[in-house]
Amino acid sequence: MIVGVPKEIKNNESRVGMTPAGVFELVRSNHTVYVQSNAGIGSGFTNEDYQQVGAIILDTIGQVYAMSEMIVKVKEPIEEEYTLVQEGQIIFTYFHFASSEALTKAMIKSKAICIAYETVEDEDGTLPLLTPMSEVAGRMAIQQGAKYLEKPVKGKGVLLGGVPGVAPGKVLVLGAGVVGIQAAKMAAGLGAHVTILDIDMKRLRYVNDVMPPHVVTEFSNEFNIRKHIKTHDLIIGGVLLKGAKAPNLITRDMLKEMHPGTVIVDVAVDQGGCVETTRPTTHEDPTYIIDDVVHYTVANMPGAVPYTSTMALTNVTLPYVLALAKDGWEVASSKNAALQKGLNIVNGGVVYKEIIEAFGWQSSMV
C-alpha cells in the first residue's frame, strides 16, 4: 500500500503521524511511504531521518494526499484539507467527529474511509489509541493548571504544593479515567490535596487503592460538584463518553460560585468539553476568562510536547497501520474487532451511531 504522512497544519500542532521507526517497519514490509517535507521537524525528526529508513519526501501536502492510498495523521483534517481527501482513501487519525458537524459533513462528502483513533476499542472497553494522549494530557493538565494559578496570568496566586506552614492547593478532578488518574497522580506528586469524582464505583475503588491518602474520592453528582467548586483552586475536566459529546457537568451559573482566579483545564474540549463555557483554544492563545474564572481549553494539549507525544502515539498506532496496509481496511477490520470500532464514516455514510446521535440526525447520510 502507498501510505502518506502529511505535515500537521493545525495551529501549533508539532506532532507527526509516524516516526522514522514506524516508517522503517512499513518499508520493511514492502509498502511505499511518502512523507511531506519537514513533517517531523517539530517532533525532532528531519527529512534525512525519514529518507534513511526508506521514505520518499514530497514537497507539498497536496502531493501527499494525491499520491497516497492511506493517510496517517495526528489531528483531524482542517478546512484547508477537506478538498484534498479522496474518495475511497483511508484517513487514520484522531477525528472527534461529535464535536464538529462541519468536519463530519466534509468527510461524508469526501466518501473517504475515516478510521478514528479515539474509537478503536478493545474487548475490555479500553481505548488503546487514545490512552497515550490521554496520559500526556492528564499530566500536562496539572502543569498548565499550576502555571495559570499564578497571579500574573489572573490566577488565584496559589502554589499547588504549598509550603511548610501554608496549606497546599486543592485540585478537583472530574472523571477517574486515564486523564483523571494521570492528573491526580501529578497533582498528588506536587503535594496538592486532590478530590476525584466519578460515577463508576469500580474506578473510585481503584483510585483509593493506588493513590496516596491525600487523594480522596467521592461519587460524582451535581450536589458534590457544586460543593467542591467553591473550595478548590484547580478543576480538571477529564470526562469521556466514547465517540460522543461530553456532558456539561459544570454549567455557566456555577462559575459565579467559584473563587475569583479559579482555573479550569477542560481536557474534554476535543469532545465538546464537560464545562458549558468551554470553547477550543490554541497554544498560541490558550486561555480566556469568564466570571473571573480562568479557562484553559487547548484542543491539542499533547502538541506542546511533540517528541514525547509522537513517540507514544506511534507505539500504539503502528500495529494497526501495518494491518491496514497489509490487508486493506475491509479485511483488516473484519479480522480485528477493535479496529472495526474505529470505523466512523465509510463511503459517504456514518457507521458510528454516537455521531448520528450527537447531531440529532435521523439518518447516517446527509
Is 96 annotated in the active site? yes
Look up residue 1 and give its amino acid.
Answer: M
Look up residue 333 and give its amino acid.
Answer: S
Contact 209, 178 (CB under 8 A): no
Contact 174, 138 (CB under 8 A): no
Give Cα separations from 214 to 45, 170, 172, 185, 193 (angstroms).
Answer: 41, 10, 12, 11, 5
Please pick, among 198, 233, 270, 295, the residue that the annotation labels catalytic: 270
Question: What's the CA gap between 344 and 364, in Å, rounded?
Answer: 10
List the beta bridge partners of residue 219: 198
Question: What's the CA gap between 352 and 355, in Å, rounded?
Answer: 6
- Residue 86: count of CB within 10 angstroms of its CB: 15
Contact 115, 90 (CB under 8 A): yes
Please pick, among 31, 96, 193, 295, the residue that the annotation labels catalytic: 96
Q: Is 293 helix (H, G, I), strand (E, B) or coil?
A: strand
For residue 125, give the DSSP letter: S
Give Cα separations from 92 to 154, 191, 302 (angstroms).
Answer: 39, 40, 18
List the beta bridge partners of residue 4: 34, 71
Catalytic residues: 96, 270
